[in-house]
Amino acid sequence: MLTSILISVIVGIICVLAAIFYNKNSRIKVALAIIGAALLLYGGFGYGALQPKAHLEVFHTGNKLQVEYPVKKVQVISPIDRDTVKCRILTIGVYPEAHSKDIWVLLKPSDNKYYPQSDYTNTSYKEDGRWQVVTRFGGDQGESYQLFVYETDVSASRFFSETIEKWKAADDYVGLQQDELPSGATEIDRLKITLENNCRGIH
């Protein structure tokens, strides 16, 4: 397929150049130009189909709390309690200097199940006293969610990571019941938030 596309582009360039420099017959000149342009368009669209651009996921941020320093505990600074959010956000927070545990965000929509959130590292990204995690919603406009923040030991963090991998492999995000949450996960913050848009089916 790629070879035929390259041949089309080369022949198209030759036809266009021939049309530019051919001066004897205007009809032949026009025909060469049309054929050349068509082959170049075919080659361009064909290459684009073989090499599609990666989908760029866009994340929004909610309103932010003012951070008081020195930071004494892990907390969420965005979104804020009672915030209205879009379908894809970054949940952002702070943590004290000595904090060493993993931080996880879990969403609890109207089905009363818990959904651990992750980016490609499967834990919240931590650096220089700040943490963040990609948070994706899949509910209806106006639906209320509880957003929980947990700090976890190694076994609880592994449980959440393996749960997400299992859901991804099955393409079935079934959620966790409260009694399924690991004992090594400790709730440290929670917010109530509402969806600004309909987020069904956009995962």
The pLDDT score that the predictor gives to residue 54 is 44
* 93 within 8 A of 77, measured Cβ to Cβ: yes
The pLDDT score that the predictor gives to residue 121 is 62
* 191 within 8 A of 147, measured Cβ to Cβ: yes
The pLDDT score that the predictor gives to residue 143 is 95
The pLDDT score that the predictor gives to residue 57 is 56
- pLDDT digits (tens), the chain, 203 positions: 557 766 777 876 886 677 677 676 677 767 767 887 777 777 666 655 545 444 445 678 888 999 888 999 999 999 999 999 999 999 999 999 989 999 999 999 999 999 999 876 667 888 899 999 999 998 999 999 999 999 999 999 999 999 999 999 999 999 999 999 999 999 999 999 999 999 987 65
Distances (CA, A) of 141 to 80, 87, 93, 198, 199: 18, 10, 25, 4, 7
The pLDDT score that the predictor gives to residue 194 is 96
Edge-first strand order for the sheet with 144-152 is: 84-85, 185-195, 144-152, 102-108, 115-117
The pLDDT score that the predictor gives to residue 92 is 94
Output the six-digit token pair for 55.
Answer: 């989908």
Contacts of 151 (CB under 8 A, 6+ apart): 74, 99, 101, 102, 103, 104, 185, 186, 188
In eight-state DSSP terms, residue 123 is S
